């Protein structure tokens, strides 16, 4: 039902729009400082950059193992594929601009949070008790906390492409189990949104290659089974 609602919201005016591929990608390993007085501060220790020429991303993805292979195949792929043109050492920043930008933004965010609620980090440092489980899309425009003005510790969040609820998704099932049985949340929210790229991609006649294509199959099935009903939606 969630997938049907998402398809309805997406609309079909822009189905032919092509999905843009990024020309560079940077992987960062970040963590939040665990306790006071620095709780809420972001720390980044290691990250590697990948610079690509037009077509490089396509070549890399075409050689990527199918999403159903054993984990060892993914390790072997990483070991034998040069995804970076820069060396990475412990404590050395490959992308200093990222570190400066996110560091400043994190400090500003922490200062604002403490001003609004001085004891919040001490309180959430003792544990979390959210009332809501939010199941949403990975789309960068629809972060749950931003849209409802949520505070740290208020919303337990699970996000995936196109905000799907799939019974065979072990990740989702673990989140649901933990949220309901252990955190004892009071409300379950499945939130779709307009202009969902995942939904639009799924109803096009195009193979997006694994593992994206494997995931989009769930929406494709909904669209195939309910196409007549969905096609009348303006």
Q: Residue 106: left if φ>0, alpha if ψ -120 to 50, beta else—which one?
A: alpha
Backbone angles phi, psi at 17, to 5 degrees: -65, 130
Query: For the residues of 127-174, what is the DSSP string, one character each?
Result: ----SEEEEEE--TT--HHHHHTPPTTSEEEEEETT----TT-HHHHH
Selected catalytic residue, list 47, 137, 158, 218: 137
Selected catalytic residue, list 9, 193, 208, 220: 193
Tell me the two tokens of residue 23: 């020309």
**196 catalytic, yes or no?**
yes
**122 catalytic, yes or no?**
no
Selected catalytic residue, list 47, 110, 158, 196: 196
Selected catalytic residue, list 139, 159, 191, 208: 139
**Contact predicate 195/188, CB 8 Å:** no
Selected catalytic residue, list 31, 100, 141, 206: 141
**138 catalytic, yes or no?**
no
Query: For the residues of 73-101, what is the DSSP string, one character each?
Result: HHHHHHHHS---SS---TT--S-HHHHHH
**45 catalytic, yes or no?**
no
Which run of H or of E encompasses 62? helix 56-63
Just list the catalytic residues.
Answer: 137, 139, 141, 193, 196
């Amino acid at each position: 039902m969630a997938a049907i609602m998402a398809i309805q919201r997406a609309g079909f005016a822009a189905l032919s729009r092509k999905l843009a591929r990024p020309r560079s990608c940077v992987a960062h390993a970040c963590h939040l400082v665990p306790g006071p007085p620095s709780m809420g501060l972001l720390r980044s220790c290691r990250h590697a950059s990948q610079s690509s020429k037009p077509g490089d991303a396509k070549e890399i993805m075409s050689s990527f193992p199918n999403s159903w292979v054993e984990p060892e195949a993914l390790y072997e792929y990483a070991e034998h594929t040069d995804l970076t043109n820069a060396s990475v050492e412990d404590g050395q920043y490959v992308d200093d601009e990222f570190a400066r930008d996110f560091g400043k933004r994190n400090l500003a965010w922490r200062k604002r949070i403490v001003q609004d609620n001085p004891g919040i980090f001490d309180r959430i440092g003792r544990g979390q008790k959210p009332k809501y489980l939010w199941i949403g899309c990975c789309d960068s425009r629809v972060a749950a906390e931003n849209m409802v003005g949520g505070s740290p510790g208020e919303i337990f969040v699970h996000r995936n492409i196109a905000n799907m609820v799939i019974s065979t998704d072990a990740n989702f099932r673990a989140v649901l189990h933990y949220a309901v049985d252990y955190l004892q949340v009071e409300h379950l929210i499945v939130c779709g949104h307009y202009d969902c790229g995942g939904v639009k991609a799924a109803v096009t006649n195009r193979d997006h290659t694994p593992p994206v294509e494997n995931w989009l199959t769930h929406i494709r099935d909904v669209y195939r089974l309910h196409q007549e009903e969905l096609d009348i939606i303006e």
